[in-house]
Amino acid sequence: VEKARFNSRAMIPIVTAIVAAVFIGVGLKDFGFWEGQPTAAFFPIIIAVVLLATSLLCLVQVLRGKEDAPIYNRNEFMVILGGGGIIIGCYVIGLILSCLLYLFLWLKFVEHAAWKAIIVIEVFMAALILGVFVFWMQVQFPWGLFELLM
């Protein structure tokens, strides 16, 4: 019997299982599940249970598989780095500005787009985000350290 190999394919199911377990724990501890009627955590707990089950099934499938570890290229790491940058940027400059900055950096340094295309795309995305999400739907995006100045 060949021993199961642990590689980076197992990281996503492990991380999603941890996230699901945290959602289940916090939901049950802080909000409860059912108190005469569904609580605020009712649907998040159900979704977290499904996520936990599918994560564990995926982990079993990955560990039973005989596929070699994946080989990553530079652009795949750039996406992960960009996602981390957006998360950190949310706390510093806010979500909207960090997403627009990520879009600018991606278009300029990865896609090597022309300045005209970058400006058109940035203006369109800023108008879309602000118009639809901020003004129309009134989504409260985090403003980062700018919130302290206001």
Q: Is the pLDDT of residue 5 over 70?
A: no
Q: Quick one: tokens of 138?
A: 């009134």
Number of CB atoms found within 10 A of residue 117's CB = 11
The pLDDT value recorded for residue 90 is 92
Query: pLDDT tens for residues 45-100?
Result: 999 999 999 999 999 998 888 877 778 888 888 888 888 999 999 999 999 999 99
Q: Assign residue 94 a region (left: φ > 0; alpha: ψ between -120 and 50; beta: otherwise).
A: left
Query: pLDDT tens for residues 18-53?
Result: 999 999 999 999 988 888 888 888 999 999 999 999
Query: What CA–CA distance (Å, rounded) separates 28 from 46?
Result: 11
Whole-prediction pTM: 0.60
Q: Is the pLDDT of residue 6 over 80?
A: no
